[in-house]
């Protein structure tokens, strides 16, 4: 009789253990703010100035003294013109300044009237046709950012809005975490690269290597420098040699396939021979054959992290998002945000939940609910293309029409 199988580790435990093992890289780069999209800040950004730097008009119109306009019949004398990028003179009682959006409000003025609410007479006489409150249409100095404020924290993953904010503080360069160096290889004697053999000439049993394409794209999106080591044959020697050479100059070795239980699966024993395996097999579907460990370096000190992803494309894709993405964020010193599911109604039925936590490929429909892709097999990559996210379904949970379920949109992970 076989020994009873140890229960598989729950995903949250596996992720917590994996993240515990990752020490953020010490190396950093200073890059042009223009080139910092997707990089992770290595130091806090503290503002050296107020934004806006000066009180300015948020309208095209006239700068006035609100107290002058208590009587609606009052005519003001337009004495100056202040376009954006220019400064005016102090405004005296009874005067108005023609002003444009972004121009500094002159001393003495305490409100801006939009030009649609005014009428000019004799060229320089101004009649204001609406009530005016002190402070209106003025953007105050420092209302966006105060001098000395910490505007962005180390660990922030920079995106378009944060780059704009950094630029508004005058920062042309930013200190960011170094890019993780990742060695990527695919295992499997059945794999053929697109372009090497035409579809009509594919030998029996051969398939195209699809994992290599989406994994490379995912790694690039996560800010990595990728060394693509191609396809490694299913032998112990080739697997050992590839792992050994990859460990020296990379922070992470990422493989797909060959981490299951068959005797053609050489990755697991090879990692054990060259380092250690700390996690193997997770209670999730798809994605059970996931492995995490490290490979010792031969020529330099230290070790490279190792992640073995399942060979089945959908398993590989989903485990990358759930496990490798957090690992890469942490390596770069970035915050690893918890999953933030949307609660959405199922417009489908799942008669019986799997015993593992399941990530079902689904997509939002126009009625505000979720449709399920009919074929949830881990080899069906079409499901990941059709879907715009996954339903995170607890073990053993059946789903009835209309049940609120946890939906994780791909868009949040792929940004």
- Binding-site ranges for ligand AMP (CB under 6 A): 186-188, 190-191, 207, 209-212, 256-258, 260, 289, 310-313
Among the listed ranges 9-17, 128-136, 149-157, 253-261, the one in contact with Mg ion (CB under 5 A) is: 253-261
Q: For residues 100 and 208, which CB has a smaller minimum distance to ligand AMP in the complex?
A: 208
Q: For residues 100 and 213, which CB has a smaller minimum distance to ligand AMP in the complex?
A: 213
Q: At which residue do the structure tokens 């789903």 appear? A: 399
Q: For residues 261 and 366, which CB has a smaller minimum distance to Mg ion in the complex?
A: 261
191 binds, among ligand AMP, Mg ion, none (CB under 5 to 8 A by kind): ligand AMP
Q: Which of 256, 291, 276 shows the shortest CA–CA distance to 8?
A: 291
Q: For residues 137 and 292, which CB has a smaller minimum distance to ligand AMP in the complex?
A: 292
Q: For residues 78 and 381, which CB has a smaller minimum distance to ligand AMP in the complex?
A: 381
Nearest distance, CB of residue 183 and ligand AMP, angstroms? 15
186 binds, among Mg ion, ligand AMP, none (CB under 5 to 8 A by kind): ligand AMP
Nearest distance, CB of residue 365 and Mg ion, angstroms? 36
Count the Cβ atoms, other than its own, within 10 Å of residue 263: 6
Among the listed ranges 187-195, 238-246, 290-298, 386-394, the one in contact with Mg ion (CB under 5 A) is: 187-195
The residue within the footprint of Mg ion, chosen from 61, 155, 180, 257 (CB under 5 A), is 257
Q: For residues 71 and 263, which CB has a smaller minimum distance to ligand AMP in the complex?
A: 263
Q: For residues 106 and 310, which CB has a smaller minimum distance to ligand AMP in the complex?
A: 310
Nearest distance, CB of residue 231 and ligand AMP, angstroms? 8
* Torsion from C-alpha of 145, 150, 155, 157, nearest 10 degrees: 10
Do you know the residue count of the chain?
Answer: 415
Nearest distance, CB of residue 231 and Mg ion, angstroms? 11
Q: For residues 106 and 188, which CB has a smaller minimum distance to ligand AMP in the complex?
A: 188
Q: Which residues pair with 363 in a beta bridge?
A: 371
Rg of the chain on CA atoms, in Å: 30
Site for Mg ion in 386-415 (CB under 5 A): none
Among the listed ranges 3-11, 143-151, 182-190, 379-387, the one in contact with Mg ion (CB under 5 A) is: 182-190
Contact between 188 and Mg ion by CB under 5 A: the answer reads yes
Nearest distance, CB of residue 328 and ligand AMP, angstroms? 20
Nearest distance, CB of residue 256 and Mg ion, angstroms? 9
Contact between 308 and Mg ion by CB under 5 A: the answer reads no
SS3 for the chain, per residue? Answer: CCCCCCCCEEHHHHHHHHHHCCCCCCCEEEEEHHHCCCCEECCCEECCCCECCCCEECCCEEEECHHHHCCCCCEEEEEEEECCCCCCCCCCCCEEEEECCCCECCCCCCEEEEHHHEEEECCCEEEECCCCCCCCCEECCCCCECCCCEEECCCCECCHHHHHHHHHCCCCEEEEECCCEEEEEEECCCEECECCECHHHCCCCCEECCHHHHHHHHHHHCCCEEEEEEEECCCHHHHHHHHHHHHCCCCEEEEECCCCCCCCCCHHHHHHHHEEEEEECEEEECCCCCEEEEEECCCCCCEEEEEEECCCHHHHHHHHHHHHHHHHHHHCCCCCCCCCCEEEEECCCECCCCCCEEEEEEEECCCCCEEECCCCCCCCCHHHHHCCEEEEECCCCCECCCCEEEEEEHHHHHC
Among the listed ranges 21-29, 311-319, 344-352, 407-415, the one in contact with Mg ion (CB under 5 A) is: 311-319
**Apex CA 326: angle with CA 158 and CA 219, to 5°?**
70
312 binds, among ligand AMP, Mg ion, none (CB under 5 to 8 A by kind): ligand AMP
Q: For residues 115 and 260, which CB has a smaller minimum distance to ligand AMP in the complex?
A: 260
Nearest distance, CB of residue 361 and ligand AMP, angstroms? 17
Among the listed ranges 2-10, 27-35, 188-196, 314-322, the one in contact with Mg ion (CB under 5 A) is: 188-196
User: How far is residue 133's CA from residue 45's CA, in Å, rounded to a whole number?
Assistant: 36
Nearest distance, CB of residue 209 and ligand AMP, angstroms? 4
Q: For residues 191 and 350, which CB has a smaller minimum distance to ligand AMP in the complex?
A: 191
Residue nearest to ligand AMP (CB): 311
Query: Contact residues for Mg ion (CB under 5 A)?
Result: 188, 257-258, 311
């Amino acid at each position: 009789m076989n020994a009873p199988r140890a229960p598989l580790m729950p995903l949250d435990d596996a992720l917590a253990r994996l993240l515990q093992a990752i020490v953020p890289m010490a190396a950093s780069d200073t890059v042009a703010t223009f080139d910092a999209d997707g990089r992770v800040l290595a130091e806090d950004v503290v503002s050296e100035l107020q934004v806006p730097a000066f009180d300015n008009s948020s309208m095209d119109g006239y700068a006035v003294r609100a107290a002058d306009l208590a009587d609606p019949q009052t005519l003001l004398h337009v004495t100056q013109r202040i376009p954006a990028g220019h400064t005016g003179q102090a405004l005296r009682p009874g005067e108005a300044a023609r002003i444009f959006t972004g121009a500094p409000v002159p001393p003495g003025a305490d409100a801006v009237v939009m030009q649609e609410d005014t009428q000019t007479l004799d060229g320089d006489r101004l009649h204001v046709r609406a009530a005016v409150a002190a402070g209106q249409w003025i953007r105050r100095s420092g209302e966006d950012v105060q001098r000395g404020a910490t505007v962005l924290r180390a660990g922030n993953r920079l995106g378009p809005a944060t780059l704009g904010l950094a630029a508004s503080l005058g920062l042309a360069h930013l200190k960011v975490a170094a890019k993780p160096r990742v060695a990527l290889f695919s295992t499997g004697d059945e794999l053929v690269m697109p372009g090497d053999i035409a579809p009509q000439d594919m030998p029996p049993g051969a398939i195209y290597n699809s994992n290599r394409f989406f994994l490379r794209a995912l790694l690039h999106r996560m800010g990595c420098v990728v060394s693509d080591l191609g396809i490694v044959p299913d032998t112990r020697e080739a697997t050992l040699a590839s792992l050994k050479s990859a460990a020296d100059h990379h922070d992470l070795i990422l493989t797909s396939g060959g981490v299951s239980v068959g005797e053609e699966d050489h990755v697991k024993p090879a990692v054990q021979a060259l380092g250690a395996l700390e996690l193997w097999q997770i209670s999730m579907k798809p994605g059970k054959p996931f492995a995490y460990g490290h490979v010792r370096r031969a020529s330099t000190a230290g070790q490279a992290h190792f992640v073995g992803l399942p060979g089945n494309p959908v398993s590989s894709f989903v485990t990358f998002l759930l496990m490798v993405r957090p690992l890469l964020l942490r390596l770069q010193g970035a915050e690893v945000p918890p999953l933030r599911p949307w609660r959405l109604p199922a417009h489908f039925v799942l008669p019986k939940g799997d015993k593992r936590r399941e990530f079902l490929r689904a997509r939002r429909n126009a009625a505000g609910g979720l449709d399920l892709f009919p074929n949830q097999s881990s080899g069906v990559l079409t499901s990941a293309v059709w879907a715009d996210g996954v339903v995170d379904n607890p073990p053993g949970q059946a789903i009835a029409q209309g049940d609120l379920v946890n939906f994780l949109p791909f868009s949040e992970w792929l940004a």
